[in-house]
Amino acid sequence: MRIGIVCPYSWDVPGGVQFHIRDLAEYFIRLGHEVSVLAPADDDTPLPPYVVSAGRAVPVPYNGSVARLNFGFLSAARVRRWLHDGEFDVIHIHEPTSPSLGLLACWAAQGPIVATFHTSNPRSRAMIAAYAILQAALEKISARIAVSEYARRTLVEHLGGDAVVIPNGVDVDYFARAEPKPEWQGETIGFIGRIDEPRKGLPVLMNALPKILAERPNARLLIAGRGDEEEAVESLPKELRSRVEFLGMVSDEDKARFLRSIDLYVAPNTGGESFGIILVEAMSAGAPVLASDLPAFAQVLDQGAAGELFANEDPDALAEVAVRLLGDPERLAELRRSGSSHVRRFDWSTVGADILSVYETVTAGAAAVATDERTGLRARFGLARD
């Protein structure tokens, strides 16, 4: 099958949607399918052989964050050329309502279109008002996927229609096989995310840290991600700042080793999450997870059975649970076991097969429609069968 996948966000700025698309493309390539991904990217960015650049993206505030998107006449031309050259059996567009390549591809594409909706937002008058603009493009979509029940709910409330829920995927064994790093072990708490993005919740964790260290003086906080490190520790007393270590951006290999090494992964995100891929990665690596009780996080963690939850934006609650867990090796071991078992439902062997079945359904439907149309034309003009 010839599969075209459209990524709305800049390929050179790491994010959950980009990682999902990358892993999905590589999963299908391993199965023998031909895959091309169209994505915004700077011209000098090294790209995998299956990624085609649609040009440089620009930063736009979006869903409580800053997304790097690509839109305009030049982008539209590149989308049309990519569609023409690809001759795809199916087009898979991610975030088709964002002002980026997905919407452009939706307008221009012909044939079967699958769309995945990643975003979870409160009910928005602006998005509902935009439906009139989006309607012509959205009506061309053959099948809709939402990565969680909360993303599906956002779609239903804002745009109508419905979607099948297929979660984000992870290569579970890749994380499970990673080798721990000794220097990252020894009563370590881990955090991965953009340091200067408030909704990732690092300030909540920083506010909880003094209480954690008061009870667990040998604990350390390891932080992987880009951002202003000095600003991140401003709220901490100076004598505690040495207990925080910044690792900067880490490679995929080091991310897996990081998650295999730590004693507790903390996800203090405050909102705007429709899934929580980092929770799945942490469980895959065997890291016990403590997360804010966002509905999407609670769902990923099986309502607390596969990881513990604390009250959102409550540093005291975070500190209380973290101290209890760090002092209870048996509970940490139990969370490792339950998380490792629960996470198998998110492996690409399951998720990829579900997405492929959607592709096969829409392409079979398109083929049936084409056959009916040809039959109708032959009957109308008195032509014989082939």
Closest CA to 222 of 237, 252, 202, 197: 202
Quick: pLDDT tens for 117-137. Answer: 998 765 555 455 555 667 777
Write out the DSSP string of 32-83. Answer: T-EEEEEE---TTS---TTEEE----EEEEETTEEEEE--SHHHHHHHHHHH
pLDDT at position 381: 43
Work out the burial of residue 189: count CB atoms within 10 Å of its CB; fewer than 13 is exposed, 13-18 middle, 19 or more buried: buried
Quick: pLDDT tens for 48-65. Answer: 999 999 888 776 665 556
Mean pLDDT of all residues in 332-358: 97
Task: Answer for the pair 166, 143: CB distance below 8 angstroms, yes or no.
Answer: no
Contacts of 260 (CB under 8 A, 6+ apart): 175, 178, 179, 180, 285, 286, 287
Task: Answer for the pair 114, 359: CB distance below 8 angstroms, yes or no.
Answer: yes
* Radius of gyration of the CA atoms of the chain, in A: 23
CB atoms within 10 A of CB 244: 20
Cα–Cα distances (Å) from 227 to 9, 12, 13, 230, in that order, read 19, 16, 13, 9
Write the secondary structure of 102-160 as one string of H (helix), E (strand) and C (coil). HHHHHHHCCCCEEEEECCCCCCCHHHHHCHHHHHHHHCCCCEEEECCHHHHHHHHHHHC
Q: Which two tokens stand for residue 337?
A: 């076991």
**Portion of the chain with pLDDT greater than 90, in percent:** 69
DSSP state of 300: H
- Give the Cα separation of 320 and 215 in Å (integer): 10
pLDDT band at 69 (very low <50, low <70, confident <90, very high): low
Mean pLDDT of all residues in 216-242: 95
- Give the Cα separation of 157 and 159 in Å (integer): 6
Residue 372 bridge partners (DSSP): none
pLDDT band at 384 (very low <50, low <70, confident <90, very high): very low
Task: Answer for the pair 71, 6: CB distance below 8 angstroms, yes or no.
Answer: no
Mean pLDDT of all residues in 89-102: 90
Q: Which two tokens stand for residue 150?
A: 């909360």
Instruction: Give the domains, in start order, of the chain with CATH numbers.
Output: 2-169+347-380 (3.40.50.2000), 172-344 (3.40.50.2000)
pLDDT band at 148 (very low <50, low <70, confident <90, very high): very high
